[in-house]
Amino acid sequence: MAGGEGTRLRPLTCDLPKPMMPLMNKPIMEHIIELLKKHGITKVCATLQYLPDIIKEHFGDGSEFGVDLRYYIEETPLGTAGSVKNAQGFLDETFVVISGDVLCDIDLTEAIGFHREKGAIATLVLTRQDIPLEYGVVVTNEEGRIIRFLEKPSWAEVFSDTINTGIYILEPEVLNYFEKGQIFDFSKNLFPLLLKQNQPLYGFISKCYWCDIGNPEQYLQAHRDILDKKVMGSFWDGNREKGIWFGENIVYGENCKIVPPAVLGNNIRIGNNVTIEPYTVIGDNTIIEDNSSIKRSIIWKNSFIGRNTKIRGGIICDKTVIKDNVSVFENAIIGAETIVEARATLKPGVKVWPNKTIDEAHIVSSNLIWGTKSSKYMFGEKGISGRVNIDITPESAAKLGASLGCQLTKGAKLAVSSSNSPLTEMIKMALTSGILSTGHQILDLGKALLPVLKRAVRYYKLSSGVHLREREDGKILIEFLDSKGANIDKGMQRKIQHAFNRDDFQRCVEGEIKRVINIPDFTENYIAQVIEKFDVDSIKSRGLTVGFSAASSEERKVLPKFLNKLGVTPVKSNNKTEECDLVVIMENYGESVKLGFNEIFTDDNCNQLINSIISFNSRTCDSITLPLHSPRIIEEIARQHNTKVEWAKISSYDPFDPFEYIGRVIEYICVNKISFKELLNELPEYFWTYKTVYCPWEAKGKVIRHLMEAKNPNITIETIEGVKFHHKEGCVLILPDAEKPLCKIYGEGYTQEFAENITEELIERVKGIRDE
């Protein structure tokens, strides 16, 4: 399979198919053909789509490489299985599907033997991966039969560290399950269909080396792994002496220093006093002038490196000219046929697209990738967070706005709002500029709470919304909403991140840029819409006094105004309730609320329980949706009221509007002529605990897999999100955190002691697996 564009590898793949990227100075696809030949497979076809002629011109009919090679070209993308369907006439016996752009030494002979022994219709070659987020996670039973898999999970959906390599052994009849020309994918469509029909679908777990070269970091690492002899295979046709791979016709100047392991291609000229340090690969026909030094870098063929130039961990593409006294730093990429003038500096992470000219003494820093170690995964549980001017700069915020804008249909309308902070205001202005550059209309609500923005998105029928606020830890949080006012799903998150990392934006023309529409008073509209839902006369007749406390200035402004219009008397509170019928505490810029009296306050679980009971008693719904960690006692109460509970992923659950919730509680106690204390007395007793346990990123998948593999007839497992273990007397949920190297653990039981015990027991199991 050689049709992918390799968009995450740009600018390396801007003018080159990914299978043709050089690995040890030979196209990756050559190494795959060598692997196939080693295992007796010489009848080969390649499915092509992106820049197919480059591959065809290099390999021809395959005879030069010892195989019979044919080509099948997709005019439009048909998915992985759809592209292979084009070659159905060629695939008339058991066949192997393998990517033309991975590095591996998988024992295909052993995998094919496993496939035949099991009588499988399809066998997936699997491997272990510490951080499996970018792959398909697969679960097999003791016999190797596949029982479950999930494409590109979030941390909460990681059930194992066993992943799909994209290498399959298949019987020809699998291609009869769908029509030619139909868009069909192996992992998303075909394999779930086979699993559903109980066809013999197996997983062969390989301990051999496998690396999906999906980004520049993995591309560099693949070279290092070869040079460290972590990969079996013949990767070099020339001479090799003491860890240095030599091509032919290499000319050295005086006092050259080459430190192994390193690779030098053919027809290379090296000047005086040049230093080439470990893990450097130099392509054919490259010139390196005097006094330059190169460390841990990959330089493609036909390049020129001038005098006194320093390259540190960079990738230099074909026909690039780098003049004197240039500095190229770690993870910088320079696209093909680029000219870098003297004394220029490329800072870490910069990507330069092909055919550019960088001026003399210019410092290139505009293409920096997200600034923390976790930048590979920009989105956390709520959105994107970071420190202003360190992790989130005006430049990166503008890119982020353009990345969002590129995912929306032309002429879309969005709303933005922020907290009352100069930090969030600055970043909001930059982000707004990025969105405007893609031609969309923006409604700016100014300083508004998140519930207000959510209502505005629905009220104006907008495509999206963005809210920025300052967190207690000093970082700002950027939250993205969809057209329903809920947080965007992980698919949209990935699209935004990919556009951001590629700097791949569709900018609009000058005449399409729109003015920002300011709507500073929508909060008044919001309050009026919420108040309409309640019986204000009944509330006024009770004459309640409600204390309030709020963290932010906007909350302190909106909350008393809302309470007053609702028909109660609002008074500032210091969290004591001796003189109040109820106290309301609002936090997180309108995202969460606590209710209380006599210094007893509700938490999120208690709020869920109260809201559910009000809904049941008011008979306002036939079903309710709750996050997975809500008390299960709600389900028992729901059954008594003939109401269904639907459990939602915590990461995608949109919490109820806090102002509507406050109004519902006050209306309920007024209409039913009870106190808040009496409402709390209606609540059933439940026991619940929450803890965290340290778990490195690379251990999370392994931990979840081992927990799921443990057999206990007294426990049932639920995998809506994370893994939930149901005991007779309670349950415990483990959820890998999306932002930090830890796992969250929620325990629930019929006694507090049991809830604590099952939580501590799971923590100890996690520690044991983690520390193996």
Q: Encode pLDDT of 99-127 as tens digits.
A: 988 999 999 999 999 999 999 999 999 99
Looking at residue 390, its pLDDT comes to: 67
The reported pLDDT for the residue numbered 633 is: 83
**Least confident stretch, 181-190, 263-272, 420-429, 457-466:** 181-190
Q: Decide: helix, strand or coil at residue 6.
A: coil
Least confident range from 1-10, 90-99, 540-549: namely: 1-10
Do 147 and 44 belong to one domain? yes
> Based on the domain organization, do 199 and 117 belong to the same domain?
yes
| In-domain check, residue 12 | yes
Query: DSSP 3-state assignment of 534?
Result: coil
Q: How many residues does the chain have?
A: 772
Q: Which amino acid is at 628?
A: L
Residue 719: band (very low, low, confident or very high) from pLDDT cuts 50, 70, 90: confident
Strands 95-97 and 162-170: antiparallel
Residue 669 sits in the same domain as residue 591: yes
Q: Output the pLDDT for position 372.
A: 28
**20 and 129 share a domain?**
yes
Residues 35 and 161 in one domain: yes
The angle that helices 553-566 and 522-531 make with each other, rounded to 10 degrees, is 40
Does the residue 41 lie in any domain? yes
Angle between helices 490-502 and 394-405 (to 10 degrees): 120
514: Cβ contacts below 8 Å, ≥ 6 apart: 436, 439, 440, 441, 442
SS3 content of the chain, % helix, strand, coil (to 5): 30, 25, 40
Q: Which residue has the higher pLDDT, 255 or 605?
A: 255
Q: How many Å apart are CA 575 and CA 583, to the nearest integer?
A: 7
Question: Please, are residues 427 and 388 in contact by the beta-carbon 8 Å criterion?
Answer: yes
Let me know if residue 149 belongs to a domain: yes
Q: Flag whether pLDDT at 307 surpasses 80.
A: yes
Between 525-539, 655-669, 710-724, 758-772, the lowest mean confidence (pLDDT) is in 710-724
pLDDT of residue 620: 63
CB 661 within 8 A of CB 607: yes
Tell me: do 303 and 427 sit in the same domain: no
CB atoms within 10 A of CB 673: 10
| Residue 542: predicted pLDDT | 92
State whether 623 and 722 are in the same domain. no
**Is the predicted pLDDT of residue 334 greater than 90, yes or no?**
yes
Q: Could you tell me the pLDDT band of residue 762, with boundaries at 50, 70 and 90? A: very high
Same domain, 47 and 156: yes
pLDDT at 188: 87
Which tops the pLDDT comparison, 627 or 275? 275
Q: Once rounded to an integer, what is the mean pLDDT over residues 459-481?
A: 92
Of 519, 541, 572, which residue is a domain's last?
519
Query: What DSSP character marks residue 578?
Result: T
Domain co-membership, 632 together with 720 = no
- 190 and 289 in a single domain? The answer is no
pLDDT of residue 157: 67
Region of poorest pLDDT, from 187-196, 497-506, 539-548: 497-506
**Is the model's pLDDT at 131 over the cut of 80?**
no
Question: Is residue 464 scored above 90 in pLDDT?
Answer: yes
Please report, for residues 248, 550, 670, 724, 737, the alpha-carbon distance to residue 573 in angstroms, rounded to integers and kept in the order given. 82, 9, 21, 40, 35
Task: Give the DSSP per-residue string, 122-187.
Answer: EEEEEEE-SS-TTSEEEEE-TTSBEEEEEES--GGG---SEEEEEEEEE-GGGGGGS-TT----II
Backbone torsion region of residue 480, taken as left when φ is above 0, otherwise alpha when ψ lies between -120 and 50, otherwise beta: beta
Of residues 579 and 350, the one with the higher pLDDT is 350
**Number of independent structural domains in the chain:** 5
- Which of 221, 243, 200 minimizes the C-alpha distance to 315? 221
Considering the domain architecture, whether residues 550 and 672 belong to the same structural domain is answered as: yes
| Residue 753 DSSP SS3 | helix
What is the model's pLDDT at position 746? 93
Residue 63 has pLDDT above 90, yes or no: yes
Q: Is the pLDDT of residue 726 over 50?
A: yes
Instruction: Check pLDDT > 80 for residue 240.
Output: no
CB 593 within 8 A of CB 607: yes
CA distance 535 to 47: 66
DSSP 418-445: E-S-HHHHHHHHHHHHHHHTTT-EEEEE
d(CA 162, CA 415): 41
Residue 238, pLDDT above cutoff 70: no
Global pTM?
0.65
Please say which residue of 364, 382, 408 terminates a domain. 364
Domain with 725 in it: what CATH number? 3.30.310.50
Burial profile 692-725: b = 16 or more Cβ within 10 angstroms, e = fewer:
ebebebebbbbbbbbbeeeeeeeeeeeeebbbbb
Q: What is the mean pLDDT of the chain?
A: 88
Average pLDDT rounded to a whole number, residues 697-720:
86
pLDDT for residue 371 is more than 60: no
Query: Band of the pLDDT at 306, cuts 50, 70, 90?
Result: very high
Residue 638 included in any domain: yes
Contact 337, 318 (CB under 8 A): yes
Whether residue 504 is predicted with pLDDT greater than 70 in this model: the reply is no
Residue 725 pLDDT: 92
pLDDT surpassing 90 at residue 239: no
Domain that holds residue 559: 533-681
Residue 376 has pLDDT above 50, yes or no: no
- Judgement on whether residues 299 and 184 belong to the same structural domain of the protein: no
- Does pLDDT of 767 surpass 90? yes
Domain termination residue (choose one: 664, 681, 698): 681
Indicate which CATH number applies to the domain containing 446. 3.40.120.10
Whether 706 maps to a domain, the answer reads yes
Residue 172 lies in a domain: yes
Q: Does 484 map to a domain?
A: yes
Grade residue 722 by pLDDT with cuts at 50, 70 and 90.
Answer: confident
Q: Is residue 134 part of a domain?
A: yes
SS3 for 295? strand
Determine contact, residues 609/633, Cβ cutoff 8 Å: yes
Amino acid at 422: P
Q: Are 202 and 146 in contact (CB under 8 A)?
A: yes
Read off the CATH number of the domain in which 176 is found: 3.90.550.10
Residue 501: strand, helix, or coil: helix
